[in-house]
Amino acid sequence: MIPARLLAVAALALSAGCVSPWTVDHFEAPEADVAGRSSFAWTGGDIVAPLAQGPGVPAEIESRVRAVVIGELVRKGYVESPDRARADMLVSFQVAGSRQTVVADERRVGAPSPNQVLTPGGMPQPAASELPRVQTIREGTVIVFVEDPASGKLVWRGSVAAEGRTSSDEGTIRQITDIARHIAQEFPARRVAP
């Protein structure tokens, strides 16, 4: 017989693997009946942030975000329409944020106390010419919008505000793409008529 404590630990470990690192803030218009709709059209995206510096990065972000959002909507039972006029929903996204470079404030665990270091026989101080370690921090918001094509009103919106400490454009693109996937996973599944 398996002890109850072992089952509880296994269940906790399994559920911890399913938790998203981001909290998705979402809104659905009460009168929208999003789950009752069947098709959508992709309308593009807007990147209004200096989150990445390389050439072609905005196009790569748009391509990857489009792929993950469309993939999630199709998985939830919606059909992508090539014609915006015939779609029940118009889907777009926005990435906004800032980028800054800061001096990393890293404190070592087990570092000696100032009393040990500042004594005549204490540890030597770092050279004055040694530069502090700097780190690039990117703060931003990824938003997925779903609008009604007839009225132009917002029917659903999901957003995540996050801080990234990625050191490359590729890492930034991966993080934005993963956030967009988590947002799209919050979108309600299509309701199938009985």
Is 153 within the bounds of a domain?
yes
Domain ranges, residue 139: 22-103+132-185
Is 57 within the bounds of a domain?
yes
Per the confidence metrics, is the pTM higher than 0.75? no
Question: Which residues of the chain, if any, have pLDDT below 50?
Answer: 1-2, 4, 6-18
Is 123 within the bounds of a domain?
no
Give the separation between CA 42 and CA 69, rounded to whole angstroms: 9
- pLDDT tens by residue, 116-168: 666 666 556 555 556 666 666 668 899 999 999 999 999 999 999 988 767 67
| Tokens linked to 185 | 């996973």
Is 155 within the bounds of a domain?
yes
Is 35 within the bounds of a domain?
yes
Give the separation between CA 143 and CA 172, rounded to whole angstroms: 16
Is 10 within the bounds of a domain?
no
Specify the CATH number for the domain of residue 165.
3.30.160.670
Written as one letter, the residue type at 118 is L
- Total domains present in the chain: 1
Cα 23 to its chain centre, rounded Å, is 9
Is 49 within the bounds of a domain?
yes
Is 32 within the bounds of a domain?
yes
